Chains A and B, each alone.
Chain A
């Protein structure tokens, strides 16, 4: 327990430092953009030079870059991401409103790719070199080559346009006044296609990693010992080979979280899911740089938190992980 705590503290300190680099880097990158929030605002509402001057002053845009960066960091400490021009609301509120949809999509897609991927990986790795092993390896590689957004469109053509089994997009039926379980079921039905499009792509990754890990584990002495003890093949595969191959996959869960978030940007756009990714696209279209900055920071924090959770889970699952190895 204490070891896990030490590891957690060390990771937290490192994470804060990394997030600081992210904030400063992204701030400077977006500063390079031609035009600022006032320009974007004036384009949509109209206004004269005096108005522009006034707004620049009120939003602090007439100050130097460094002062504004300092102000931004100071505001961040109070969890204030600033005001969105396009939504005329605090950016934090807009993001918090969209975040649950993205999280739901990500968690479901991760569960699908991790669950099915590792199960198929065990199935393939139980008999290395067999026909089913080769078939699954190549099949998963083919799946990994599919662009998620295109898979999404193909799924729409098949299941929403031709068969009419599933809705074409959105997160729930609009203005249906559904509550409780009905609403949950409605959201679940809307999520089937986007989750499939996002999850199936990464399934291949877990399948291949599981398979590779099992091929490695088959050569270990403890597997030989287990077989020598006369354990059934099934037991050897599940309790010894697969179990040891599973640990690296858990680390992968954390590393993949950034990829998943990136992938959900396009998937949300294909299925019109009002999540963080769709918001990022709206921010790009409206040239709302502060909003884009807020979204990038939120995603970075999300990735850091997921990785921390994965590290903690790992420390509990694998007793060999000590605080000494944690710094690497």
Chain B
């Protein structure tokens, strides 16, 4: 059976793909459906959901349209999640390849630095980084990458260690290819599959970290974020809990979609080892 058909026959994977597609659609149509500033005042403050059909999800403490904020928040979550994961995977595989291929002192140094990054709680590191450099979307992405590149680096290194002894690497050496060229053109591409298998976990972690940073007030102040919405709603948690609950549900569905779809892709493309 080809991978696509196997994917479509796994109900969890399909559910994940639908959730992800919905999120991407939300992010893409947000500026069309809600042109203008989503943080502008749209109606009376603290309008409950399902009361006024021009504002179906109600308004927050300042009278901002919760639905518009939700759609625009999807853009931020998606952008940060994808950018952080791409950067973490790229940096991790380069560091891992260098360490594994060079061996010796270079390997030792790079792995101790990796250890150091894994020893500091990544959320604390992100918190410190954003507070030092100042909150903006790019900085938030960089702060998340600081704590997530280590996983891909370790996996890439382990993979490279097994690849570098193979025949085609030896023959590349024999024809006099530059070691760096061998590392990045012959070894790295072959070490990628297990690293890429981590991408869904990293995207999910990045989305959750971004939400937590925004919740603590360290997100980009010029953008709507789900974490920021939850923090906003917290001030009126007793009277209007839906303001915190709705963006949280969006977060859960997003992360769940990423996990399910990711797991589906890995399981249907990877060579199955035995039966389970």
Contacts and interface: CB of A to CB of B under 8 A. Distances in A.
A29 B121 contact: no
Contacts of B238: 161
Nearest to B242: A157
Given A149-B230, A259-B121, A26 B128 contact: yes
A22 B129 contact: no
A161 B132 contact: no
Interface in A110-159: 128-129, 138, 141-142, 144-150, 153-154, 156-157
Given A147-B208, A157-B237, A157-B241, A142 B256 contact: yes
Interface stretch (B21-29, B42-50, B108-116, B181-189): B108-116
Interface string B197-241: 000000010001001100110100000000100100010011001
Interface in A271-305: 277, 280-281, 284, 287, 289, 292, 295-296, 299-300, 303-304
B31 interface: no
A259 B123 CA distance: 8
Contacts of B120: 22, 26, 258, 296, 299-300, 303
A147 B115 CA distance: 26
A300 B124 CA distance: 10
Interface string A229-271: 0000000000000000000000000010011011101100100
A60 interface: no
Which of under 10, 10 to 19, 20 to 34, or 35 or more describes the interface residues of B? 35 or more
A26 B124 CA distance: 11
B248 A153 contact: yes
B118 interface: yes
- Most B CB atoms within 10 A — which of A142, A150, A262, A277? A150
Contacts of A259: 121-122
B87 to A, nearest CB: 18
Secondary structure class of chain A's binding surface, majority of residues: helix
Contact of A280 (B124, B256, B259): B124
A146 B12 CA distance: 17
Contacts of B125: 296
Given A145-B256, A262-B121, A265-B123, A22 B116 contact: yes
B51 interface: no
A303 B119 contact: yes
Interface of A: 14, 17-19, 21-22, 25-26, 29-30, 32-33, 128-129, 138, 141-142, 144-150, 153-154, 156-157, 161, 215, 219, 255, 258-259, 261-263, 265-266, 269, 277, 280-281, 284, 287, 289, 292, 295-296, 299-300, 303-304
27 contacts: A19-B119, A21-B113, A26-B128, A29-B132, A32-B132, A142-B252, A147-B208, A148-B212, A150-B211, A150-B252, A157-B237, A157-B241, A161-B241, A258-B121, A259-B122, A262-B123, A265-B124, A266-B215, A269-B216, A281-B127, A281-B216, A292-B128, A295-B124, A299-B124, A300-B116, A303-B119, A303-B120
